[in-house]
Structure 1
Amino acid sequence: MRHAVIVADNRQPADVHGVHGTRGLTQWACLARRAGLGGGWEAVEWACVPAGGVSGEHLHTRTEEVYVLLAGRGEITLDGRPVPVRAGDAVLTGLGTTHGLRNTGTEPLEWLVIEMPARTTAPNPTRPDPAAPDPVVPHPAAPDPILRHAVITNLRRVGPVDPGAVFTGPLRTLEVTRLAARERAVLRTDGVEHTVFVTRGSGRAATGDVRIPLMPGRALTLPLGTGAALTAGLDGLEYVHAVLAVPAEELT
């Protein structure tokens, strides 16, 4: 069955107060939900907190989550350990890890959220296990900070990350893609689904006989049975690109 391509953006975000039990304002926009998708997406979201703002710490017992920092500077806390992060950084939070995000800069801190179900669930401990290994290597000093519980890496500087080092679920690709002026990329949904979030430049997406303008803040999610050709404008095109595998039962 052919599903509809999902187009969304962050131009009219909602104001949300007290995210994860923390005081303060968060701007939030839902870019895609699991409805109409087969790849196990929980949600694709955009979020932003002002200078000094916090997205509260919370434990992942059922899902795995990616934060891709889009603008600003902040501090991610992983199992109680703070690590500085900045635009271009990606944080992959594995099952059983507690994380939270604070804006430590003077400008708004924006990030993309991709949340997916894990293959199993984690216990909900009342306190961290002191014997457990550190969840993350200090960043950005470590050239290859891939660990058992979390990954922090810069997608623009280091390149794609291997989600299988931490995640048990369906995420197969996470990268920042850059297209030169008028360069073209074709996204096919052969057993996978895609989400794209434009960070810089402009262009268009062609899916069937539909043409969709692309600009910063616009997201495009491609369910199974769809596809799109992305063409960069004269100023080029940069986007965050995530690919999820579709379970075998959804392919029949």
Structure 2
Amino acid sequence: MPETVSAGEAEEAALLGLAPAAPSATERYGPHPSQVIDLYGPPGGPLVAVLHGGFWREAYDRVHLSPLAAALAGGYGLRVALVEYRRVGGGGGRPGTFDDVGAALDHLRGSGELRALAGHSAGGHLALWAASRGAARCPVVAVAPVADLARAHELGLSGGAVAELLGGEEHLAARLPEADPMLLPPPDPEAVPVVLLHGTEDADVPVELSRRYAAARPAARLAELPGTGHYAPVTPGTAAFELLARELARYAGVRHLGV
């Protein structure tokens, strides 16, 4: 009998099966090879930034979200900045990964107003971190975020990825308060509104983490996506992706172009 493929595996295969989309330009914000930003869409268009996931590890780079960046640029006329950053195993982890997110956002603000910041999975965690640490200064849309690092560690997500990010089990207690969105000051809801999008069938980052964040941060808005796993919201062509795109377009002040 053929091997059964789970819904989550099917979603992952659909995203990773898309051909990478080449950017219209690439900019550097530092000397490290990972300190780069790929740009999609028209220069001068409303600027939104995207942080990719991959549990903060070197093995996972920004390329898998290049189709998303291209679709947002083509369908909404956005200028999309797909941010790379140093990751665990490649010079990242604490503090480099966090420093890079702040530096990349500062670099982008030098080019104009940043209308919104989106992040998926580990990138969603970094977006929520930026919202609390004053690095975002714009609306944040966190998609399937690792929104509660302590709970993610308790659940053993991705084989101890949280401990790897923070430099090892022995450093967790001391470093969680500076890295965990649940332990940081809540973002100012007027300056930095926060929206969380999370599939109820997410097997990689359970929706429980977003529920816990939303319960602790009543100003944050959680939209649960029934029957949706981890990857559909960042896969162009899905209903979940359209929801993400419309949230970003709303903050950017544009409407769908129908292409």
Length-normalised TM-score, structure 2: 0.35
Whichever of the two has the greater Rg, that structure is: 1
Quick check: which one's strand share is greater?
1
Richer in helix (by share): 2
TM-score, L = length of structure 1 = 0.35
